[in-house]
Every structure is written in structure tokens, then in C-alpha cells.
């Protein structure tokens, strides 16, 4: 037990929280931007998988991790565009469209992996590249903070920058205002000349962009290869994190960190000799608890508001 | 010519044709012998009694999960929990099949019933969350899938596992627990009869009872149903119970009908396929039969193709995605319907 607490309060653990949080955070940001525009992208999980595979294959063939990343992002945005085309043009139900994307990704990535590498499980035969880790000069010398914050994969820092960027975009730019107005009330937005379909399409593309970064991180940072269904529900946990974060950028960031900590905790728990099968369920259990707590407080808040308006009327 | 009222049927056929064309296209790009491979994919499943048997065997679990998802989707609940329930109920049924000693009639009955009740109770948890506090059922049910899989795998590895077996599998089921074969030369088992009975029962429930009416009303507009005096909280929990019961029954039947040990070390995927069956069946219980058979047909076709040619069976998931996208696309071929309507009304465009 003491062994376990030693791990929990070590800088290594704090470091691993940030490491594990990154893909969840990217997915959560993708969920946030699409949800703000009133069109929830359920296909994040699948988009991440497709990008993870694209990154591995392209970087193996070109020998450059950066070209791999570029094409992984492109693939993610393309999937989002396809989803947008079907939902906005053909009026496919957005949730069913997302389910289709996930189904396509889960089998399609195995299919393509097999065609490229002759293996259905993992891309071990491909010599794929990984994105570099950054050691930040002054920061890494500070005790405690240094080992926690420095030395992460470049995409982990990108994810933090994305939080700031998304916050700025939603709060301060015309596009952000349009996205929020479309999400709040599409008819009202349309009546003042906002092109609803176009804004929703753009939001879907951005959410695909975030999911793609998360996917690329999985196969070119978190691990250095692609394995079958490697995202393991992180896209869904991201969607839950966005809900628990009450659709605010800061809230989403904090709840992603919470879920990341649960994930890291699951890794640390293995020291206690609890069976790996049970420990592996920790992030999902925490996610369900988070969702329920969020929903219960939401219902209570609504009731309180209702009571207040009634009281003020009488 | 076609009438506008049949438009939905025509569109479903069109979607299936498009997806088959896409299949051919993918095969043509990949295979060294495209024509031969397409022939295998299309005709091998009906080439012999054993292969036809394979198609029907595979359609049985799809009927159960498809029916389960039909109930949920019809109530406008996007719950994909059938996958985890199917798996976990299989574990429960296996435990009874291994450890209990009962007569040959009672044994599978008790095992299946236990699996189904487990499914119902586990399904009621996200159902209760949804009905009471409006917790997003899609995310919570998917999380439940992962949790149930983890717990189920733990039970398999630590409680049921036969260390003498060459593969990672449970102890052998007792002979009394296995379902009887009904057609010699195939592995079609009594589960088929049970599946068909369930389908008719759900059809009756949905269209001929007050509860079915409440279910459909809640599905089309929960707020309106609530205002007209329907207790939607109760409806949602009931639907989850029934859907979980069916998914659990499917898992138990599949395990006892097709295997002699429990040996799934990953989620078998029937729950997710249930969503596809429900879409193809347009959320109509009776259509589940045809939809399951169709899906089983292309699945077996793809499996045989993977075995006999150079195209892997995962190709089918691309085709499935296209089917979902097109079949739920309201605007797809809408122009055609409009034209038919105008023609019937005698207006020329």
C-alpha cells in the first residue's frame, strides 16, 4: 500500500497524468467545438483511429514524422468533411452518421493495416516514426515542476495551446460568435444572416482536426506503433469530459485532466496486484460516475431555477 | 411504375445495391482475381447446405441484438449497450452451464433465463440514469460495454478458465446445457425458434398493446408524451429492461448453441451489428428477420471470401458504414420521391 502511495505522490505520476490526458483532451476539444455549433460529432473515436493509422503508414513510407502528422490531420479533417456532407446535405441523423464513422474506422483500419503490412493486429513490421519530445530549457531545471512539465511529446504542448486557442476563438473572434449563435438558436442566427450549414460544417472540420491530432498522438507519441482499436474508448471519454465540463473550454480542460488522472491511476494500481482486467475498467467507471454527477447537479439546478421564478411570480 | 408510397422500400433496395457495387469496386481494386472473388462473395454462402446453415446460424444472435436495438431506437434512445450485455450474459449462462446439475430440458432454460435477467438488470442501470437525470445514454452505455467486458474477462480468466485447455477458454459446458440441433448437416439450434418467438412477441407488444403505444409516443416526442399523461420515466426504464433481457438472451443462446466452452477474449461485435440490423429493419420488429439474414449473408460471404481468396473480411465494415450513412440519409433520393408524387398528382415538372 505504501508503495502505491509513493507512486501516487511522485512527480512521475503527475507527469503521466499529462501524458495520458493528451488524447482525451484533444477528443474533448473536438466534442466541444462541434457541440457549440449544435452538431455533436460522435465520430471522434473513429476519426482518431483513422488518423493514428494514417500517421504510422505515411511516416513509415516517407521517413518523416512531420509529413505523417500532416497527412494524419488531413485524413481526420476529410472524415469530418464526409460526415458533414452526409449530415448537412443528405440529412443523415448526426448520431447515426457518427456510428457509421466509428464502424468504418474500427474495421477499415484493420483492413488497410492488413493490406499494407500483412498483419491484422499491430503495425510492428512498419518502421514508423515518432514525434519528438520537448525539453524546455529553463523550465526543466526547476525542482518538482520541471520533471512534471518538461519532456513531454510535442503534441501534449500543442493540446495545451489548443485549449488557449479555442478559448480565444470562441470568446473573441467573429467566427466564435457565429458558432455559439448557431448552437444556441440556429433560426435566430439564420435570421441575422449567419449561414448555419456553413458554420456547422466548419465546426465539424475543426473537431475532426482536434480528433486527428489526438489520433496521431496515440500512434506517434503515446506509443510508437498502431494497434487494432488502440484508441480504446478515448474518443467517448472525451465526449463525456466535454459534458462534465459543462461545455466550457476551461471546464472541459479540467474534466479531461480528471479523466486522465483516472487513467494514470489505473496504471499505478497495477502495483497492488489487482487483476489487470479490473484495473482497466477504472477510466470507464470514473467516466460514468462523472456523467451521473454532472446530470444530477444539472437537474437540481433546473429545479432551483424553476422554484425561484415561481417564487418571484407569486 | 413505382408508387411514392413504396418509396422507403425502393430506397432500401437502392442503398443495398449501391453498397454491393461498392463491394465489387473494392474487390476489383485489391484482388488479383476480381471476378472469381466477387463470385465467392455472392454465391458461396448459398452454395451448400452447410454454408446456408452458417448464414442462418449467424443471423440468430443478430436477430436478438437487432430486436433489442429496435426497441431502444424506436423510443429514440441511442443506447449501444447490447454489445457488453451480450458478452456478460454469455459469461453468466456459461457459469450455470458449467457448474449447475440439472436435467436436459431445464438446464439450458435456466442458463438462458439467468443470462437474460442479468442483461435486463444491467441494462436498467443506464436506463435509470437516462430516465431520471437525462444522462447521455450513448456515452454511458458505451462505457458500460468496456466495464462489462473488463469484469467478464476477469471472471473468465480467474474463475472459469480451464488451464488444461489449449486455448484461453472456460471449462467445458455440461452436455445437458447445450441447445439441441434442429436441422441435421448444419449447426442451426433451437435458439432460432426462440429468436422468432421473441420477434413476434415484440411485434405484438409494440403495435397491439397500450405499453407499445406509449413506447412509440415517447420515441417520437418525449415532452409531448409526458404532457399527455404518459409516465415516460417508466417507459424508458421498461424499454431498457426488455432490450437488456433480449440482448442477454441472445448472448446466452449464442454461447450454448454454438460453443462447448466460453472462449470470447474480445467483444464479439454482435451488439454493434444490432444497430445496423435495426437501421436496415427501419425499427420494425418483423423486418428484423430479413435484415439479420441479409447482414449474416454478406458477413458469411466476406468470411468465405477471406478464406478462399486474397481479400480480408474486414472489408465488410466499410460497406456497413456506407449502408448506415445512406439508409439514414433523409434527403437521399428525395428528389425522386418528389417527382413521383408530382406525377401521381398529375402535375408535370
Confidence bin at A264 (pLDDT 50/70/90): confident
State pLDDT tens for residues A174-183. Answer: 888 888 888 8
Hey, is the C-beta of A274 within 8 angstroms of any chain B C-beta?
no
Contact assignment for B318 to A104 by CB distance below 8 Å: yes
When the pLDDT of each residue in chain B is averaged and rounded to a whole number, the result is: 87
Confidence bin at B91 (pLDDT 50/70/90): very high
Share of chain A above pLDDT 90, in %: 25
C-alpha cell at B236: 424508458
**Strand pairing partners for B144?**
none
Has residue B337 been placed in a domain? no
Tally of domains within chain B: 1
Closest by CA to A239, choosing from A25, A80, A78, is A25
Contact assignment for B320 to A104 by CB distance below 8 Å: yes
State pLDDT tens for residues A165-201. Answer: 999 998 899 888 888 888 888 888 888 888 888 899 9
Has residue B148 been placed in a domain? yes
The 8-class DSSP code of residue A86 comes to I
Contact assignment for B134 to A299 by CB distance below 8 Å: yes
Contact assignment for B329 to A95 by CB distance below 8 Å: no
Average pLDDT estimate for A49-65: 91
pLDDT confidence of residue B2: 59
Contacts of B166 (CB under 8 A, 6+ apart): none
10 Å CB burial of residue A95 (0-12, 13-18, 19+) is middle
| Residue in A42, A111, A278 closest to B318 by CB | A111
The CB density around residue B250, as the number of other CB atoms within 10 Å, is 35
Q: Of residues B20 and B195, which shows the higher confidence score? A: B195
Hey, is the C-beta of A86 within 8 angstroms of any chain B C-beta?
yes
Closest by CA to B112, choosing from B8, B248, B208, is B248
Confidence bin at A216 (pLDDT 50/70/90): very high
> Is the per-residue pLDDT at A215 higher than 80?
yes
Contacts of A136 (CB under 8 A, 6+ apart): A149, A150
State pLDDT tens for residues B27-76. Answer: 888 888 888 888 888 888 888 888 899 999 999 999 999 999 999 999 98
- Minimum Cα–Cα distance from B272: chain A residue: A103
- Minimum Cα–Cα distance from A98: chain B residue: B325
The CB density around residue A116, as the number of other CB atoms within 10 Å, is 17
Has residue B11 been placed in a domain? no
C-alpha cell at A217: 498522438
Share of chain B above pLDDT 90, in %: 38
Interatomic CA distance for residues A271 and B45, integer angstroms: 50
pLDDT confidence of residue B348: 60
C-alpha cell at B87: 458478452
Per-position DSSP letters for B202-241, written without gaps between them: HHHHHHHSHHHHHHHHHHH-HHHHHHTT--HHHHHHHHHH
State pLDDT tens for residues A106-162. Answer: 888 988 888 888 787 887 777 888 888 877 777 777 777 777 777 788 888 999 999
Has residue B128 been placed in a domain? yes
Q: Are A314 and A268 in contact (CB under 8 A)?
A: no
Interatomic CA distance for residues A264 and A222, integer angstroms: 13
Closest by CA to A207, choosing from A62, A44, A21, is A44
> Is the per-residue pLDDT at B349 higher than 60?
no
pLDDT confidence of residue A139: 72
Closest by CA to B116, choosing from B250, B211, B222, B278, is B250
Angle made by CA atoms B27, B30, B34, in degrees to the nearest 5 = 50
Q: Are B191 and B257 in contact (CB under 8 A)?
A: yes
Average pLDDT estimate for B261-283: 86
C-alpha cell at B42: 455472392
Q: Which domain holds residue B203?
A: 57-288
The 8-class DSSP code of residue B151 comes to H
Per-position DSSP letters for B53-79, written without gaps between them: HHHHHHHHHHHHHHHHHHHHHHTT---
φ, ψ at A228 (rounded to 5°) = -50, 130
pLDDT confidence of residue A299: 87
Hey, is the C-beta of A243 within 8 angstroms of any chain B C-beta?
yes
> Is the per-residue pLDDT at A269 higher than 80?
no
Beta carbon pairs, A and B, within 8 Å: 136
- Minimum Cα–Cα distance from A286: chain B residue: B143
Instruction: Determine the distance from the C-alpha atom of residue B80 to the mean position of all C-alpha atoms in its chain, rounded to a whole number.
Output: 10
Instruction: For an interface test with A, give the residue of B125, B139, B299, B313 to mutate (most A CBs within 10 A).
Output: B139
The CB density around residue B349, as the number of other CB atoms within 10 Å, is 6
Contact assignment for B321 to A108 by CB distance below 8 Å: yes
State pLDDT tens for residues B250-259. Answer: 999 999 998 8
Contact assignment for A277 to B134 by CB distance below 8 Å: no
Interatomic CA distance for residues B54 and B59, integer angstroms: 9
The alpha-carbon radius of gyration of chain B (Å, integer) is 21
Q: How far apart are the first and last CA of chain B?
A: 17
Place of cell 409531448: B224
Residues of A within 8 A of B279 (CB-CB) are 96
Q: Are B262 and B90 in contact (CB under 8 A)?
A: yes
**Assigned CATH for A2-313:** 1.10.3470
pLDDT confidence of residue A165: 92
Has residue B315 been placed in a domain? no
On the CB side of B12, CA atoms within 13 Å amount to 14
Q: How far apart are the first and last CA of chain A?
A: 58
Hey, is the C-beta of A91 within 8 angstroms of any chain B C-beta?
yes
Closest by CA to A33, choosing from A247, A212, A213, is A247
When the pLDDT of each residue in chain A is averaged and rounded to a whole number, the result is: 86
Contact assignment for B320 to A277 by CB distance below 8 Å: no
State pLDDT tens for residues B233-249. Answer: 999 999 999 999 999 99
Contacts of B81 (CB under 8 A, 6+ apart): B122, B123, B126, B141, B142, B144, B145, B244, B247, B271
pLDDT confidence of residue A303: 86
pLDDT confidence of residue A72: 93
**Strand pairing partners for B170?**
B161
How much is the ipTM here? 0.84
Interatomic CA distance for residues B119 and B89, integer angstroms: 6
Angle made by CA atoms B53, B59, B63, in degrees to the nearest 5 = 150
- Minimum Cα–Cα distance from A238: chain B residue: B139
Average pLDDT estimate for B197-216: 93
Interatomic CA distance for residues B326 and B319, integer angstroms: 11
Place of cell 416526442: B221
Those residues of chain B whose CB sits closer than 8 Å to some CB in chain A are 30, 78, 80, 129, 133-136, 138-140, 142-144, 146-147, 150-151, 153-154, 157-158, 272, 275-276, 279, 312, 314-318, 320-322, 324-326, 328-332
Confidence bin at B266 (pLDDT 50/70/90): confident
Contact assignment for B129 to A284 by CB distance below 8 Å: no
Q: Is A122 helix (H, G, I), strand (E, B) or coil?
A: strand
> Is the per-residue pLDDT at B3 higher than 70?
no
Residues of B within 8 A of A121 (CB-CB) are none
The CB density around residue A161, as the number of other CB atoms within 10 Å, is 10
The 8-class DSSP code of residue A227 comes to B
Interatomic CA distance for residues A105 and A79, integer angstroms: 10
| Residue in A93, A106, A233 closest to B317 by CB | A106
pLDDT confidence of residue B29: 85
Has residue B191 been placed in a domain? yes
pLDDT confidence of residue B325: 84
Cα pseudo-dihedral B235, B237, B238, B240, rounded to 10:
120
Confidence bin at B285 (pLDDT 50/70/90): very high
State pLDDT tens for residues B182-200. Answer: 888 788 888 999 999 999 9
pTM assigned to the model: 0.87
CA distances from A235 to A113, A246, A257 (A): 21, 17, 14
Angle made by CA atoms B90, B95, B96, in degrees to the nearest 5 = 100
Interatomic CA distance for residues A50 and A239, integer angstroms: 18
Amino acid at each position: 500500500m505504501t508503495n502505491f502511495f509513493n507512486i501516487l505522490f511522485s512527480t512521475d505520476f503527475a507527469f503521466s497524468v499529462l501524458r495520458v490526458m493528451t488524447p482525451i483532451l484533444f477528443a474533448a476539444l473536438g466534442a466541444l467545438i462541434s457541440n457549440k455549433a449544435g452538431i455533436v460529432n460522435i465520430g471522434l473515436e473513429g476519426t482518431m483511429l483513422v488518423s493514428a493509422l494514417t500517421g504510422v503508414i505515411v511516416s513509415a513510407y516517407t521517413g518523416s514524422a512531420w509529413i505523417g502528422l500532416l497527412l494524419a490531420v488531413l485524413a481526420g479533417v476529410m472524415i469530418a468533411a464526409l460526415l458533414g456532407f452526409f449530415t448537412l446535405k443528405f440529412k443523415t441523423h448526426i448520431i447515426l452518421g457518427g456510428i457509421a464513422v466509428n464502424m468504418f474506422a474500427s474495421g477499415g483500419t484493420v483492413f488497410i493495416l492488413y493490406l499494407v503490412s500483412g498483419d491484422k493486429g499491430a503495425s510492428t513490421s512498419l518502421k514508423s516514426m515518432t514525434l519528438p519530445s520537448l525539453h524546455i530549457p529553463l523550465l526543466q531545471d526547476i525542482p518538482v515542476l520541471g520533471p512534471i512539465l518538461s519532456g513531454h511529446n510535442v503534441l501534449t504542448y500543442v493540446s495545451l495551446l489548443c485549449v488557449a486557442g479555442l478559448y480565444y476563438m470562441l470568446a473573441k473572434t467573429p467566427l466564435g460568435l457565429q458558432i455559439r449563435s448557431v448552437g444556441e438558436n440556429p433560426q435566430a442566427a439564420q435570421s441575422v444572416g449567419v449561414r448555419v450549414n456553413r458554420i456547422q460544417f466548419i465546426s465539424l472540420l475543426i473537431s475532426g482536426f482536434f480528433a486527428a491530432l489526438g489520433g496521431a498522438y496515440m500512434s506517434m507519441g503515446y506509443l510508437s506503433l498502431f494497434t487494432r482499436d488502440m484508441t480504446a474508448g478515448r474518443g467517448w471519454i472525451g465526449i463525456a469530459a466535454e459534458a462534465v465540463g459543462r461545455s466550457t473550454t476551461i471546464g472541459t480542460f479540467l474534466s479531461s485532466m480528471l479523466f486522465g488522472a483516472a487513467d494514470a491511476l489505473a496504471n499505478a494500481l497495477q502495483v497492488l496486484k489487482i487483476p489487470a482486467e479490473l484495473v482497466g475498467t477504472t477510466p470507464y467507471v470514473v467516466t460514468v460516475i462523472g456523467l451521473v454527477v454532472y446530470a444530477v447537479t444539472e437537474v437540481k439546478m433546473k429545479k432551483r431555477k424553476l422554484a425561484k421564478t415561481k417564487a418571484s411570480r407569486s | 411504375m413505382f408508387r411514392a408510397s413504396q418509396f422507403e422500400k425502393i430506397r432500401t433496395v437502392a442503398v443495398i445495391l449501391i453498397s454491393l457495387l461498392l463491394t465489387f469496386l473494392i474487390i476489383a481494386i485489391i484482388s488479383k482475381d476480381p471476378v472469381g472473388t466477387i463470385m465467392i462473395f455472392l454465391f458461396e454462402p448459398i452454395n451448400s447446405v452447410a454454408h446456408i446453415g452458417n448464414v442462418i446460424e449467424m443471423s440468430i444472435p443478430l436477430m436478438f441484438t437487432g430486436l433489442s436495438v429496435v426497441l431502444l431506437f424506436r423510443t429514440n434512445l441511442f443506447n449501444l449497450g447490447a454489445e457488453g450485455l451480450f458478452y456478460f450474459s454469455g459469461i453468466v449462462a456459461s457459469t450455470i452451464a458449467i457448474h449447475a446439475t440439472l436435467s436436459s430440458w431445464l438446464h439450458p432454460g435456466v442458463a438462458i433465463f439467468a443470462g437474460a435477467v442479468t442483461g435486463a438488470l444491467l441494462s436498467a442501470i443506464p436506463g435509470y440514469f437516462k430516465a431520471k437525470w437525462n444522462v447521455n445514454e450513448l456515452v454511458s452505455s458505451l462505457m458500460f460495454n468496456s466495464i462489462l467486458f473488463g469484469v467478464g474477462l476477469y471472471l473468465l480468466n480467474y474463475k472459469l478458465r480451464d488451464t488444461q485447455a489449449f486455448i484461453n477458454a472456460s471449462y467445458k459446458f455440461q452436455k445437458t446445457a447445450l441447445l439441441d440441433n434442429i436441422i441435421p448437416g448444419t449447426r442451426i439450434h433451437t435458439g432460432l425458434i426462440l429468436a422468432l418467438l421473441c420477434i413476434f412477441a415484440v411485434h405484438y407488444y409494440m403495435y397491439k398493446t397500450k405499453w407499445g403505444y406509449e413506447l412509440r409516443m415517447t420515441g417520437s416526442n418525449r415532452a409531448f408524451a409526458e404532457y399527455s399523461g404518459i409516465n415516460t420515466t417508466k417507459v424508458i426504464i421498461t424499454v431498457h429492461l426488455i432490450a437488456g433481457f433480449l440482448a442477454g438472451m441472445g448472448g446466452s443462446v449464442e454461447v450454448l448453441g454454438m460453443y462447448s466452452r466460453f472462449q470470447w477474449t474480445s467483444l464479439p461485435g454482435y451488439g454493434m451489428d444490432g444497430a445496423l440490423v435495426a437501421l436496415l429493419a427501419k425499427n420494425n420488429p418483423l423486418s428484423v428477420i430479413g435484415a439479420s439474414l441479409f447482414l449474416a449473408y454478406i458477413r458469411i460471404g466476406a468470411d468465405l471470401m477471406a478464406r478462399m481468396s486474397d481479400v480480408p473480411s474486414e472489408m465488410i465494415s466499410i460497406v456497413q458504414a456506407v449502408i448506415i450513412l445512406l439508409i439514414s440519409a433523409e434527403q437521399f433520393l428525395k428528389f425522386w420521391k418528389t417527382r413521383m408524387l408530382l406525377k401521381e398528382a398529375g402535375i408535370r415538372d
